[in-house]
Chains A and B, each alone.
Chain A
Amino acid sequence: MKKVRIGIIGMGRMGLTHYPIINTHPAVEIISVSDTSGTILGMMKKYIPNLKTYTDYKDLLNARDIDGVIVCTPSFSHYEICKIACENGISVFCEKPFTTSPAQAKELSEAFEAQGLVNQVGYVNRYNPVFNNVKKLISADIIGKLVHVKAEFYSCTIIKSQKSKGWRSKRENGGGATYEMGAHILDILNYILGEPIKVYGSMMNSIFSEDVEDMFATNLAYANDVTASVFVDWSDVTYRKPMMKIEFFGSKGKIMADFYGMKVYVDEAHPEFNLIEGWNTLAKNTMPDSVPFYVRGNGYTHQLYDFADAILDRTKSVICTFADASTTQEIIHSVFNNSQNL
C-alpha cells in the first residue's frame, strides 16, 4: 500500500488530538513532530522511538521526508510555516483561524493552488451532519425566501480573571473570543450562506481577559436582502460544553440548529427531504455518521482522513480549502475593523 508520510507541527491541545486520529489511518505513517517544548518531545520520543522530533519546525519541513504536514501552532505563525511547506512541496492541513491577516490568507491560497498541493483548514464544524443538512435545506429554499439568521455561540472557556500571558492574550497573535471561538460560527455562516457583502455594527467586550475580548456581537448583510446577527460569549458559566445555536428565518418556515440536532418548521410537506408539514425534529444521532476512529468528535476524523486521502489521490477534494478559510478570515477582520469598543 502506498503510504502518506505526515509531520505535525505544534503538539499543544490540537496537535495532541490530531496525532492519535491520523495515526490510525491505515495508509498514514507519522514521520515527525515538532514543538518548542523539549518536554513534550522527550515524552513522545521515549514511547514512540521511531518518531523524529524537532524543536524547530523549519528542520522538520526542510528534511523533505513528508508528503503532508498538520499545523497546530498559534495562528500568528501559520503564514511562515505554510510558506516554507509550500516551497518544499508539502501539502498542509492548518488549524483555524488560518492566519492573522486576510492578505496572507489569500497569498497562501494562491501559492498552494499554483503548486497543486492539498490545502485545508480545520474548521471542523463544516463536517457536522447537522450543518450539512441545514445547508442542503437552505439551498433548496425549503423555508422559502431566507430573511434573517440569528447565530449564537457560548462556552465556559474563560470563567476567571486572566493574567496577560502567552499568545492567547494578544489579538495580533490569534487570541480572543473572536479568533478562537467566533471564527467557527463566522465560518459556518460563510459555509452555509456564502460571502457577506457587508459586516457592520460590531461590538466587543471583555469580562475576565485583560487584553482581549471575551464576547462580541456583529451583523452581516448578504445579497438578496438576507441579514444575520451573531453573538459569541466564551465566559458563560451556564454552558458545560460549547454550544452553537443558529436559527434561520424564512418566508415559509424556520430552521433551528445546534451541534446536536435541528428543528425544522415548514408550511408544506417535503417528502423528498422527509419533512412533514409543521415541526420536524432531526437529532444528530439519527443521522448516520460513523468514523474509522473516533476522538472528540466525528468531524476531527473526517477532516484529517480527507486530508490524507486527498494526498493519496489528488482527484479527491477536501472541505474547507485555504480559499474558503480566506473568506472567513476577511469576515473576522471586518468584525475587528468596525468594532466600536475595546
Chain B
Amino acid sequence: MEKIDKIVFGDNQFFGINHRSQDKAEELAKKFSDIRNIIEVYDNAFECGIDSVMLNSNDIAAEICDYFRKKSDKYGHLSWYPSIPYPHKYANMVAEQGIFSAMNEILFKNNTTSGVFGMIGKGTSVVLGKDLMKLLEMLIDIEVKMFKGLNVKVIFLQNVITDLILGYDVKEVFQCYCDYIRKKYNVTPGFITLNMPYLKSKLDEWKIEEVVICSSINKAGFNMNPSKEEYERVIAENNPNKCQLMAMNVLVSGSITPIESFEYINSLNLQSVVFGASSKAHIQGSKDLINLK
C-alpha cells in the first residue's frame, strides 16, 4: 500500500482541545478564532519542513481548506489527511432534535439532490433501515466536500464514530466505508480510534487490509485502551505493508517532555506520527526529535 507521510501536522491546538487544561484550551481557542493566526501557525510548520496536514471537518476547517485551495501555487504540494465527521455537531443536533430530525437537517442542508433524500423527508424512514450503507455514503460525501481539490492521502473516520460503530461488531459498515473511500475518492481509508488493539483484531478477522490506523500512543499510556502493553504487542506484530500505524496524542498535551515522548515513539514500529503545536520553536523542536524506524 502507498506509504503515508512520516510527520503530519495536527489541528487540536486550533479548536480548543487540550487534554491537560481547559484554561489553556480556551486561551488557544480565542487566539485561533481569527483564521489568520491559524494560517501563521501552518506557515511556521511548513517552514519547519512539514508538508502534511491532518484536519477534522469542522466549520473552521472549511475556511482553512478554502484558503489553501485558493493559493494552490504556494500550497499545492501539501498532503492532506482529513478526519470526518465533526462529531460534536451531530451530537448537539441529535440532542436538540432527535436522531432522525438531525439526519434530515444534515442531509437537506447540504444537498439539493432528490432521490433518497426526498423519501426521508417525507417520513419514509424505512429507507434508512433498508439502506444504512447508502446513508453512510451520503454522510461521507457531505463531510468530504470541503476537502475537494486538495491532495488528499487518507480519509480518516473520527474516533468517536469509529469506536461507536466498532462495538456493534458489524463488518459491513467498516467494509462499506473502506470500499467507498477507495472507489469514490481513490484514497486510503483510515480509522482514528482509542481502542487500537481491538480495532486491529477486528479488521484482521474481517480481512480488511491496506488501511491506516491512527491512535493515541504515548509513554504515559494515556487513552491507550485496554493497556499500553497491549498496544506495544500489537504494534510490534504489525505488518506495515498491510496496515500502517500513526501515533497521535504523543505529547499528552505537554504532560511528558518532548524528548521522552519521541524517544518512546521512535522505539516502536510506527509509520507515522501526528502532532500539533502553536509556536515555531515547539514545532521545530518536536520535528527534530522524530526519527521513526
Contacts and interface: CB of A to CB of B under 8 A. Distances in A.
A12 B163 contact: no
- Interface size grouping (class) on chain B: 35 or more
7 closest residue pairs by CB, A with B: A20-B167, A42-B129, A294-B194, A39-B125, A43-B129, A283-B20, A294-B225
24 contacts: A13-B94, A17-B164, A20-B164, A23-B167, A23-B168, A23-B169, A24-B198, A39-B100, A39-B125, A40-B129, A42-B126, A46-B130, A47-B168, A48-B168, A156-B92, A162-B96, A240-B15, A261-B20, A283-B21, A286-B255, A290-B221, A294-B163, A294-B225, A295-B163
A21 B16 CA distance: 27
A241 B225 CA distance: 23
A149 B91 CA distance: 30
Interface of B: 15-16, 18-22, 29, 88, 91-92, 94-96, 98-100, 125-126, 128-130, 132, 160, 163-170, 172-173, 194-195, 198, 220-228, 252-253, 255
Interface in A297-324: none
Among A13, A157, A260, the most chain B Cβ lie within 10 Å of the Cβ of A260
A23 B168 CA distance: 7
B170 A48 contact: yes
A259 B222 CA distance: 15
B167 A293 contact: yes
Contacts of A42: 126, 129-130
**Main SS of the interface on chain B?**
helix
A260 B220 contact: no
Contact of A293 (B15, B92, B126, B226): B226
A269 interface: no
Contacts, number: 123
A13 B95 contact: yes
Contacts of A258: 22
A155 B124 CA distance: 33
A47 B98 contact: no
Interface string A12-46: 11001101110110000000000001111111001
Given A39-B125, A290-B227, A285 B222 contact: yes
A271 interface: no
A294 B223 contact: yes
B172 A21 contact: no
A8 B92 CA distance: 23
Contacts of B164: 16-17, 20, 295-296
A147 interface: no
Contacts of B253: 283, 285
A296 B167 contact: no
Contact of A166 (B98, B163, B223, B224): B98
Contacts of B125: 37, 39
A158 B96 contact: yes
B168 A19 contact: yes
A206 B127 CA distance: 37
Contacts of B224: 290
Nearest to B198: A293
Given A39-B126, A285-B20, A240 B163 contact: no
B115 to A, nearest CB: 18
A158 B165 CA distance: 26
- Interface size grouping (class) on chain A: 35 or more
B97 to A, nearest CB: 8
B99 A293 contact: no
Contacts of B220: 285-286
Contacts of A241: 16, 88
B161 to A, nearest CB: 10
A291 interface: yes
A43 B128 contact: yes
B225 A47 contact: no
A285 B98 contact: no
Contacts of B160: 295-296
Contacts of A159: 92
A243 interface: yes
A290 B20 contact: no
Given A23-B167, A46-B129, A285-B255, A291 B21 contact: no
Among B19, B129, B167, B221, the most chain A Cβ lie within 10 Å of the Cβ of B167
A12 B95 CA distance: 10
A292 interface: yes
Contact of A260 (B20, B29, B99): B20
Among A40, A47, A160, the most chain B Cβ lie within 10 Å of the Cβ of A47
B132 A293 contact: no
Contacts of B95: 13, 157
A259 to B, nearest CB: 8
Contacts of A296: 160, 163-164
A37 B15 CA distance: 36
Nearest to B167: A20
Among B128, B129, B224, the most chain A Cβ lie within 10 Å of the Cβ of B129
A41 B132 CA distance: 12
A124 B100 CA distance: 26
B156 to A, nearest CB: 17
Contacts of B98: 12, 166
Contacts of B165: 20
B170 A291 contact: no
Given A20-B165, A37-B125, A43-B132, 12 more contacts: A20-B163, A20-B168, A37-B100, A38-B129, A42-B126, A158-B96, A260-B21, A283-B21, A292-B226, A293-B225, A294-B194, A295-B164
B165 to A, nearest CB: 7
B255 A19 contact: no
Nearest to A23: B167
A291 B226 contact: yes
